[in-house]
């Protein structure tokens, strides 16, 4: 039996504003700042998105005009993406490690007129290939201040928001009018391939693509507004963007930090209820757990090995829709107390499930 996905909003911007209206004071995003974490409610997120979107409109952004985002996974990527889509533009995603040559090609090939760049490293790539960028008229830098050598070609993110606030002071309905003008078939995103078979190629995705993904995930019924996601996946790829679409639809909070070397530490601090990743991340976690226990040896290794034998039996029974016997259930309870609970604690202690995608996960790792 299949479950029909719920109705979808007319656009990503409309879905976002519907979410803000439904749960304005609930936490939307959590992100690292200094030695701690800062939270944004849905209403606070909307304030920033509105200012940024209006800033883009002040810069002359028109319907389906491309805005490239060259940035790692961080809250500003999400805010920029929402701002572009609310303003009626389309996002061109640029992976932050992309070479200067490919950045110039992607920006030019997509026809991007504005680029939101994370820092001086990304701005330098654009500067180096400026004569190949085509119609780029403005670069917005997230971290740091614009360099004098770039003149007014580069502005800061705070400059963009200030432009937006001035634009809204002059025309209060500009943001709402822009959101209302976007429909499900309007272009939302251009995601470029890795270029392993020649030059990167842009995949066109509409607003309906993202709103349907969000509704489809919601229809499965495994996530609720009370969940907390830990998001580190690249937002230049579709997997990460699907997770954002699901968040907008359902309303759960997301802790966002793209630093891969911080994943295990962050899990313990954030204590999320779910996290999506690619197979290599789960392989690394499994490998670390196994190698650490093997290095200790002795009774601990024997208990560990026994626990995983018991756990595998239970996993396979449940995957087949069956429940373990009374004896096996008792053994599993003991294995959980001695071994599995400690591993769960390292993952924050609240994980309900992990989601693995983009490639096949080895059955043994899944179990």
Q: What pLDDT shows up at residue 9? A: 94
Taking only the tens place, the pLDDT of each residue in 5-18 is 677 899 999 999 99
Q: What pLDDT shows up at residue 197? A: 75
Taking only the tens place, the pLDDT of each residue in 224-237 is 999 999 999 999 99
Is 249 in contact with 22 (CB distance < 8 Å)?
no
C-alpha separations of 233 from 68, 236, 255, 288, 326 in Å: 18, 9, 12, 20, 40
In sequence order, which residues have a C-beta less than 8 Å from that of residue 128 and are 6 or more positions away? 100, 104
Residues of the chain where predicted confidence (pLDDT) is lower than 70: 1-5, 195-196
Taking only the tens place, the pLDDT of each residue in 42-93 is 999 999 999 999 999 999 999 999 999 999 999 999 999 999 999 999 999 9
Q: What pLDDT shows up at residue 198? A: 80
**Three-class DSSP category at 20:** helix
Q: What pLDDT shows up at residue 227? A: 98
Per-residue buried b or exposed e for 28-66, using 16+ beta carbons within 10 Å of the residue's own CB: bbbbbeeeeeeebbbebbbebbbbbbbbbbbbebeeebb
Q: What pLDDT shows up at residue 289? A: 85
């Amino acid at each position: 039996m299949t479950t029909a996905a719920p109705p979808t909003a007319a656009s990503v911007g409309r879905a976002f504003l519907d979410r803000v209206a439904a749960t304005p004071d609930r936490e939307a995003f959590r992100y690292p700042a200094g030695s701690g974490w800062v939270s944004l409610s849905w209403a606070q997120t909307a304030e920033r998105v509105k200012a940024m979107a209006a800033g883009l409109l002040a810069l002359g952004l028109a319907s389906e005009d491309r805005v490239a985002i060259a940035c790692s996974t961080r809250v500003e990527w999400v805010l920029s993406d929402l701002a572009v889509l609310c303003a009626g533009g389309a996002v061109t995603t640029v992976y932050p490690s992309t070479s200067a040559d490919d950045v110039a090609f992607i920006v030019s090939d997509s026809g991007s007129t504005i680029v939101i760049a994370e820092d001086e490293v990304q701005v330098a790539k654009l500067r180096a290939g400026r004569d190949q960028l085509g119609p780029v008229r403005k670069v917005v830098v997230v971290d740091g201040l614009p360099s004098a050598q770039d003149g007014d070609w580069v502005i800061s993110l705070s400059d963009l928001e200030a432009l937006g606030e001035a634009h809204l002071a002059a025309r209060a309905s500009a943001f709402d009018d822009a959101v209302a003008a976007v429909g499900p078939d309007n272009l939302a995103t251009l995601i470029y391939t890795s270029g392993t078979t020649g030059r990167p190629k842009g995949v066109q995705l509409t607003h309906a693509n993202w709103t349907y993904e969000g509704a489809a995930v919601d229809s499965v019924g495994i996530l609720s507004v009370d969940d907390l996601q830990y998001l580190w996946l690249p937002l230049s790829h579709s997997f990460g963007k699907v997770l954002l679409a699901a968040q907008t639809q359902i309303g759960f909070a997301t802790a966002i930090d793209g630093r891969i070397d911080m994943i295990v530490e962050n899990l313990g601090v954030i204590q999320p209820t779910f996290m999506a990743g690619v197979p290599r991340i789960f392989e690394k976690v499994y490998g670390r757990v196994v190698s650490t226990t093997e290095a200790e040896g002795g009774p601990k290794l024997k208990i560990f090995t026994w626990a995983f034998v018991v756990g595998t039996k239970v996993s396979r029974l449940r995957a087949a829709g069956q429940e373990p016997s009374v004896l096996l259930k008792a053994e599993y309870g003991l294995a959980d107390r001695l071994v599995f609970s400690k591993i769960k604690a390292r993952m924050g202690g609240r994980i309900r499930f992990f989601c693995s995608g983009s490639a096949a996960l080895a059955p043994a790792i899944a179990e």
